Each structure stands twice: as structure tokens, then as C-alpha cells.
Structure 1
């Protein structure tokens, strides 16, 4: 059980994340995070994961998802599932915060968020090559030739 003020906190720029399950209690089959996206948070460039599914449930606000060439403004109560290999990104293009519950099967990607947090905490900006190396440790790569952001 993770109560409201519990869970590991990860701050990534304008996104505040709370790790509800990092995989340690599920034999690494599942990880769950809650993220608050500040207004006008651009989100990551489109990318694809080779080894894990990623699910997003919008708890409040509106989140713009781009999966391949498809763009959808998802409101509270919407669930988006991104299977391995599907290029995707998301953003909060509105003036209000948005809250997402994210599921990762298996738990692989939670450590990526920790690595990114640690890089930011050390006041280092990873080079594009360094960022690609970090992503590749978690079976993730940029999706090239597609819409770069969800903020359009």
C-alpha cells in the first residue's frame, strides 16, 4: 500500500512524478507512477520502447498524446495503451495542470526516470549522444521521421 504522501518523488523539469510501484514487489512485472504535468509541459520527443508496454490513464486535466501520426487530446477518464515499438509522446498543451497514472510492463523504465533525475540534480545537461546512450540502456530509442512533439 502506498498512501497519498508516500512513494519516491522524482522531479523532471516541469513534471513531478511519484513512484507507486517500482517493480520490487511485482518481481519486475509491473511499475506504476503518478505524474503531474505543469501547464504547457512539452513532454519528450517521440520515442519507442522495444521491451515494455506503457499505459497512461488521465486522472485530471487534458493530455495531448501523439502515437505515430495520430494526435488525441485525452481528458480525465481516458486510457491510452502504447505497445512495444509504437512511436509516441505526450504533452500538456493547456493552461491547467494534468495528472496521469502510468503503467509499465515490465518495470524497466522507472530506472530511466531516476537516471534522468540524477543527471538534472548534478546540473548536467546530457549531450544528445549521452541521452541516446541512457535511453538505449532501457531498450528505448527516438522515433525518427515522425511528428517530433505533441504540442502542435
Structure 2
């Protein structure tokens, strides 16, 4: 049985914040807010900042909307230089990644459908990428697999 979905109203900058490497993620809506239907996160990416490796999701669709700066988005065999207003839909099983190759911070909205517990992936990633800690590749792979994410060999 689905629980009723309640209104969520957040002012700019509001939402639960998480530091992942040198990027900041703000959870605007998580799966528990929408009965698992969708999640919406804001990602502030520093120039040359933390970016995911090329990967796929088997079940989930992922969407990117550039708010500020310039975000390079790789989806399938295309590389997009996303300026504010650019939108990319990534279907399931499509290799993708993103990064800030510019010289100023960039802000990206990321939406996941279905959301499941996608925020728990980001929480786990934040723990793995704490300052001064080398990345445990096995732990990262296990975290990815737990939350519908698989690396793609390039």
C-alpha cells in the first residue's frame, strides 16, 4: 500500500546536504517522499571536481538539467557541453557520466526514476571518499552494485 505523498517546499539552498569528495549534493526529494517513484538532487560540482566513473543503471532512468556553469555529460557515444538549461535523459543500460571541466563551479539537477533508496548510494559514497582516505575500489564496486549502478569498461 502506498503512503500519501506530501507537499515539499524548499527554499534555495534547503534540503539535506552531503559532501562527496569536493562536490556537494543536496537532496531535494528522495524515494521515501514519493513512494519510490523519483528522487531529485542538486549537485554543486567544483572545477575538476569529483565525478562518477562511466557507468550504467539496469533499471533506473537518470535525468540531468544544468542550472549553472558548464557540465560535460557523456551519454552513450555522445559528449555534450551542457550549459544552463541543457537537459539529458539517460535511459536504462546507457553508459554515462558527467564532470565539470570549466573553471568555475557548476550546478546540476539530477533526477532518478524510480528512485528507490538512491540517496543511500550517495551517503555511502560520501563515506568512501572522506578526505585523506584512499578509495577502496572493492567497497566502491559493492556500493555501486547494491544501488543499480555498474561500471562500464572504457
Normalised TM-score (structure 1): 0.88
1:115 alignment partner in structure 2: 124
Deviation string, structure 1 residues 11-50 (Cα, Å, up to 9, x no partner): 1112111000112221010100111111122511100011
State whether residues 56 and 102 of structure 1, in contact with CA within 8 Å, keep that contact through their aligned partners in structure 2: yes
State whether residues 128 and 136 of structure 2, in contact with CA within 8 Å, keep that contact through their aligned partners in structure 1: no
Matched ranges for 1:76-115 at <5 A: 76-108=84-116, 109-115=118-124
Q: Distance in 2 between matches of 1:79 and 1:44?
A: 18
State whether residues 64 and 73 of structure 1, in contact with CA within 8 Å, keep that contact through their aligned partners in structure 2: yes
Q: Indicate whether 1:138 and 2:150 are aligned.
A: no
Question: Are residues 42 and 113 of structure 1, via their aligned partners in 2, closer, same or farther at CA, if it must alter by over 3 Å?
Answer: closer
Compute the RMSD of aligned alpha carbons: 1.6
SS of equivalent residue, structure 2 residue 64: strand
SS of equivalent residue, structure 2 residue 33: coil
Q: Distance in 2 between matches of 1:143 and 1:64?
A: 18
Q: Distance in 2 between matches of 1:141 and 1:5?
A: 31
Q: Distance in 1 between matches of 2:39 and 2:134?
A: 26
Matched ranges for 1:18-97 at <5 A: 18-41=26-49, 43-97=51-105
Normalised TM-score (structure 2): 0.87
